[in-house]
Amino acid sequence: DIQMTQSPSTLSASVGDRVTMTCRASQSLSIWLAWYQQRPGKAPKLLIYKASTLESGVPSRFSGSGSGTEFTLTISSLQPDDFATYYCQQYNTYPLPFGQGTRLEIK
């Protein structure tokens, strides 16, 4: 099975900062990777799919890049609503695991 590893586990930042988080896969995914945002007590929300395609309605400050085994999610200018946990998920081959998450907290 493919293993997904996210880093860092926790990221401290301030409103207005630019932040980047990473997701690594144990095997090549091509571009079959999605990013989700999850706020406490809520279902995940799709942000990015096919590694770099922005889901409809998601602000353009979110962007994704990468292919193969290394991927990044960047938020260009943090807003108060962005403090949440972010998960990557591969969907190249079954099963479809998630990473362990990156918790974005206010510095």
Partner 1 sequence: QVQLVQSGAEVKKPGASVKVSCKTSGYTFINYALHWVRQAPGQRLEWVGMIITGNGNIKYSQKFQTRVTITRDTSASTAYMELSSLRSEDTAMYYCARDHDAGSHELDYWGQGTLVTVSS
Q: Which residues bind partner 1 (CB under 8 A)?
A: 1, 32, 34, 36, 38, 43-46, 49-50, 55, 87, 89, 91, 94-101
Q: Shortest gap between Cβ of 34 and partner 1 (angstroms)? A: 4
Q: Tokens 């979110």 belong to which residue? A: 62
Q: Shortest gap between Cβ of 19 and partner 1 (angstroms)? A: 20
- Could you tell me the end-to-end alpha-carbon distance of the chain, in angstroms, rounded to an integer? 36
Residue 17 or 101 with smaller CB distance to partner 1: 101
Are 28 and 69 spatial neighbours (Cβ–Cβ below 8 Å)?
A: yes
Are 7 and 103 spatial neighbours (Cβ–Cβ below 8 Å)?
A: no
